[in-house]
Amino acid sequence: MKISHIFFATVCCLQATAQSFNNLPVNTQKPPLHGRHWMAITGKPLAATAGAMIFNKGGNAVDASCAMLAATCTMWDVLSWGGETQALIYNPKTKKVIAINALGVAPTGATADFFKNKGMKYPPEFGPLAAVTPGTAGGLMTMLAEYGTMSLKEVLAPAMQLAEGYPIEAQTAFSIERGKEEIKKWPYSKKVFLTHLGEKREAPDAGEIFVQKDLLATLQKLVDAEQQALKKGKDRKAAIYAAYDRFYKGDIAKEIVRGSQEQGGLFTEADLANWKVKIEEPTVTNYRGIDVYKLQPWTQGPAMLQTLNILENFDLKSMGYNSTKYIHTVYQAMNLAFADRDFYYGDPAFAPEEPIKGLLSKEYARERFKLINLEMNDPKIAPGDPYPFEGKQNPYLDILQKWGTSRADNFKPVNPLDEKYLESFTAGTTSVEAADKEGWVVSITPSGGWVPACIAGNTGVGMSQRMQSFVLDAKENPFNVVEPGKRPRVTLTPTLALKDGKPFLSFAKQAGDEQDQLLIQFFLNVVEFGMTVQEACEAPSFKTLQMYSSFGDHEKVPGGLTLNSAMPAWVRKDLSRMGYKLTYQDRTSGPINAIYFDWQHGSFWGGSSNHGEDYGIGW
Please tell me the predicted confidence (pLDDT) of residue 365.
98
110 DSSP β-pair partners = none
What's the pLDDT score for residue 18? 34
Are 356 and 283 in contact by the 8 Å Cβ rule? The answer is yes
Is 285 in contact with 364 (CB distance < 8 Å)?
Answer: no
72 Cα distance to chain centroid: 14
Give the model's pLDDT for residue 19: 33
Q: Is 409 exposed, middle or buried (0-12, 13-18, 19+ CB in 10 A)?
A: exposed
pLDDT (0 to 100) of residue 418: 61
Cα separation, 286 vs 528, in Å, equals 14
Residue ranges in the chain whose pLDDT is less than 50: 1-24, 408-412
Give all strands (DSSP E) within 246-294, no chain letters: 278-280, 283-287, 290-294
pLDDT at 513: 83
The C-alpha atoms of residue 397 and residue 402 are separated, in whole angstroms, by: 9
Note if the pTM is more than 0.85. Answer: yes
User: CA distances (Å), 238 to each of 23, 143, 153, 253, 302, in order?
Assistant: 53, 13, 14, 19, 34
| Helix-helix angle 515-527:324-344, to 10 degrees | 140
Would you state the pLDDT for residue 13? 35
**CA distance linking residue 509 with residue 299, whole number of Å:** 14
DSSP codes joined into one string, 130-166: GPPPP-HHHHHHHHHHHH--S-HHHHHHHHHHHHH-E
- Listed in sequence order, the residues at least 6 apart from 265 whose beta carbon sits closer than 8 Å to its beta carbon are 107, 128, 129, 131, 454, 456, 463
Distance, CA of 521 to CA of 407 (rounded, Å): 30
Are 73 and 481 within 8 A, CB to CB? no
Report the pLDDT value the prediction gives residue 585, as an integer from 0 to 100: 87
* Cα separation, 264 vs 565, whole angstroms: 45
What is the distance between the alpha carbons of residues 526 and 605, in angstroms, rounded to a whole number? 12
Selection from 478, 492, 484 nearest residue 550 by Cα: 492
